[in-house]
Amino acid sequence: IIKAGDMLEFFSGGLYRVTIHRYVVQPPEDHWQRQCKVRLGILYFCKPDDSTKLLPLVDNPINPR
């Protein structure tokens, strides 16, 4: 699994940095409030050929590698 943020950092040559996401489990007494929160996940699945090479996009003079 490759997250979109990881790919954006890779393709930008590090100009955009990925955020480390962490999930903290709420205590049981907070169960009702936890169920009221709306969450949204956007997924995209892709299976390129095994020979496909991913390379950073063209170098940017503002952010040389």
Is there a domain that residue 65 lies in?
A: no
Asked if residue 63 lies in contact with residue 55, where contact means CB atoms within 8 angstroms, the answer is no
Q: ∠ CA(14), CA(8), CA(41), 5° rounding? A: 140
Query: What are the angstrom distances between the C-alpha of 46 and each of 2, 50, 58?
Result: 10, 12, 23
Is there a domain that residue 62 lies in?
A: no
The pLDDT confidence band at residue 2, using thresholds 50, 70 and 90, is: low
Is there a domain that residue 44 lies in?
A: yes
Is there a domain that residue 50 lies in?
A: yes
pLDDT reported for residue 28: 63
Is there a domain that residue 41 lies in?
A: yes
Q: What is the pTM of this model?
A: 0.42
Domain that holds residue 10: 1-55
